[in-house]
Amino acid sequence: QVQLVESGGGVVQAGGSLRLSCAASGRTVVSLGMAWFRQAPGKEREFVATITRGSSDTYYADSVKGRFTISRDTTKNTMYLQMSSLKPEDTAVFYCAARNSYNLGRRTSEYDYWGQGTQVTVSS
């Protein structure tokens, strides 16, 4: 069974940076397709970024492209989301997700495992 634990959320001013972490247990991060999603109050959970199983191809939502970077550290069995140039509209609960497929996945229904979420608040 895969377990995912996010950390690194907090309050930051617009234009600032944060790094989110997602520590995995039960499987290695390289053996999983992994992603970040976020959910703002009153909105549906939306795709942010993904890194594929094995090949480490990455894909980003247009709203974060050029500002966010997804990566993973196999020595720490952890995935990261480096966020910079943060905007108030980035405020949301950020979720780490993982799945067994080798393909890119951008839908919540495509992911088998989820973390509990970490709050990111960007003040103007």
Sheet holding 78-83, edge to edge: 3-7, 18-25, 78-83, 68-73
- What's the whole-number mean pLDDT along residues 80-103? 96
- Confidence check: pLDDT of 55 > 90: no
The whole-number pLDDT of residue 62 equals: 98
Residue 19 — pLDDT band, cuts 50, 70, 90? very high
Asked if residue 54 has pLDDT above 90, the reply is: no
Banded model confidence at residue 100, pLDDT cuts 50, 70, 90: very high
**pLDDT over 90 at 105, yes or no:** yes
* pLDDT tens, position by position, 33-49: 999 999 999 999 999 99
Q: Give the per-residue pLDDT at 94.
A: 98
Phi, psi at 43, each rounded to 5°: -120, 165
Q: What is the mean pLDDT of residues 103-109?
A: 94
Instruction: Give the C-alpha separation, 90 to 19, whole Å.
Output: 13
CB 110 within 8 Å of CB 101: yes
What span, in angstroms and rounded, lies between the C-alpha atoms of 86 and 105?
24
CA distance 54 to 85: 29
Pairwise CA distance, residues 27 & 113, whole Å: 11
Q: Work out the mean pLDDT of the chain and round it to a whole number.
A: 96
